[in-house]
Amino acid sequence: MVLVTAFAVVAACGSDTGNSAAPAATGPHSAHAGGSSAPPQPLRAGERFVDLRMAEAYTPAPPEGGGSDEYRCQMIDPGLNRTAFLTGTQFAPENVAIAHHAIVYAVPPGGAAAVRKQDAKTPGLGWQCFGGTGVAGAEVEEGDAAWVDTWAPGATETLLDQDAGYKLEPGSLLVLQIHYNLLATDGRPTGSDRSAVRLRLTDGTPQTRELETWSVDAPTDLPCAADESGPLCDRAASIADVTKRFGPDVGEMADRQVEECGRGVPKPGNTQTCDHKVEAPMTLFAGFGHMHMLGRALKVELNPGTPKAEVVLDVPQFDFDNQRLVKLPSPVEVGPGDTLRVTCTHDAGLRKQVPQLKKLPPRYVVWGDGTSDEMCTGIMTVSLRKS
């Protein structure tokens, strides 16, 4: 296997026991308090490691629209000449003080040319990419790419017990998106980062199940606290600010989610929910709850309010610095007629406690890509069933 463009091979194949991931953050809502992560889990039969590191250090800077968050995408070419399955991934941030989250996207051969073109035309290391890969023809929402891994502070590699993985065809590329949070430096350029990512690959078997990521989201409509006031405490003004910082695609999310969740108008409040209909037979294997620094609790329920009700993901005390993929006690079978409900609770009062948020003016918090904005998403690892 070879690596081109923005990454360099550190080691490939073998256990790599001497190269553990970078320290992960710990501490409730402390915004990257530091800590240590576990060494890599041993290889299982038929698996191999491919360890990759950014070819050069990158110093993030805030976007032209203002704010203190940069999303940077980089191309990874794993050099696949035969089909492989990605059974585990571990992102290792070098600069944990500014690493907010990272996502790995898999782009099939049909979208590879678009990614290469984007990488070639953008000066420096990678390109700016709010929302997704930032490449037309290689986006998840259009079905041209797959979301195959998520890292946030505290996350470690989570391995499923089943014979399952994300299928990578020969010629596939990976896009690594890193969200850099510059709140600690008031949006000014700060230290560089040269992060790494470890892929766990196997050739698979005829029985290997293909994994997919299903993101179930709910709106965020968190008003300013009773003792807060300011221009951004107005919902429309806050959405305009998100749009200025991240562009119209992200700025439209707040209203689009309200519509997709079947609401005529936003319902301001600490707790928000959204029901998602299951459209195809699938198996749920694991879940990852993601919010930002005002998050208190997150839950994903199957068929709530019915005799078949079941909680499939429960994060009763959300900790921004301790996010990770959680395996379900046993796989859960779902299909058409079933509903997944995601519920999130946020707390505007945390704004006065989190060091990075205390310096910012109060705002009506809506969905946004910034650390001072919020999200509510249950990231479910699933596999479609043929019947």
How does DSSP assign 299-319, residue by residue?
EEEESTTSTT-EEEEEESS--
- Tell whether the model's pLDDT for residue 30 goes beyond 60: no
Contact 335, 303 (CB under 8 A): no
- Tell whether the model's pLDDT for residue 4 goes beyond 80: no
- Local confidence band at 322 (pLDDT 50, 70, 90 cut-offs): confident
- Tell whether the model's pLDDT for residue 36 goes beyond 70: no
- Local confidence band at 189 (pLDDT 50, 70, 90 cut-offs): low
Question: For residue 254, which of 245, 265, 244, 63 has the smallest C-alpha distance?
Answer: 265
Residue 387 has what pLDDT? 60
- 202-226 pLDDT, tens digit each: 999 999 999 999 999 999 999 999 9
pLDDT (mean) for 84-98: 93
Amino acid at 261: C
Which range, of 51-60, 74-83, 159-168, 248-257, averages the lowest pLDDT?
51-60
- Local confidence band at 38 (pLDDT 50, 70, 90 cut-offs): low
- Local confidence band at 18 (pLDDT 50, 70, 90 cut-offs): very low
pLDDT (mean) for 231-251: 96
Residue 39 has what pLDDT? 72
Which range, of 61-70, 149-158, 295-304, 374-383, averages the lowest pLDDT?
61-70
- Tell whether the model's pLDDT for residue 141 goes beyond 90: no
- Tell whether the model's pLDDT for residue 21 goes beyond 60: no
pLDDT (mean) for 13-33: 36
Question: For residue 21, which of 44, 61, 49 has the smallest C-alpha distance?
Answer: 49
Residue 178's contacts (CB-CB under 8 Å, 6 or more residues apart) are 71, 72, 73, 74, 93, 99, 101, 102, 193, 195
How far apart (Å, rounded) are the C-alpha atoms in residues 55 and 195?
Answer: 9
- Tell whether the model's pLDDT for residue 348 goes beyond 80: yes
Residue 229's contacts (CB-CB under 8 Å, 6 or more residues apart) are 362
Quickly tell me which residue has 């070639």 as its tokens.
120
- Local confidence band at 1 (pLDDT 50, 70, 90 cut-offs): very low
Residue 154 has what pLDDT? 86
- Local confidence band at 2 (pLDDT 50, 70, 90 cut-offs): very low
Residue 356 has what pLDDT? 83
- Local confidence band at 35 (pLDDT 50, 70, 90 cut-offs): very low
Residue 386 has what pLDDT? 79
- Tell whether the model's pLDDT for residue 185 goes beyond 80: no
Q: Report the first-to-last Cα separation within the chain, whole angstroms.
A: 36
- Tell whether the model's pLDDT for residue 3 goes beyond 60: no
Per the model's pLDDT, the better-predicted residue between 184 and 272 turns out to be: 272
How far apart (Å, rounded) are the C-alpha atoms in residues 265 and 273?
Answer: 14
DSSP summary character for residue 173: E
Mean pLDDT of the chain: 87
- Tell whether the model's pLDDT for residue 118 goes beyond 60: yes
pTM: 0.85
- Local confidence band at 344 (pLDDT 50, 70, 90 cut-offs): very high
- Tell whether the model's pLDDT for residue 316 goes beyond 50: yes
pLDDT (mean) for 54-83: 88
- Local confidence band at 187 (pLDDT 50, 70, 90 cut-offs): low
Per the model's pLDDT, the better-predicted residue between 142 and 69 turns out to be: 69
What percent of the chain has a predicted confidence (pLDDT) above 90?
A: 72
- Tell whether the model's pLDDT for residue 56 goes beyond 90: no
Per the model's pLDDT, the better-predicted residue between 287 and 140 turns out to be: 287
Question: For residue 292, which of 365, 358, 341, 243 has the smallest C-alpha distance?
Answer: 365
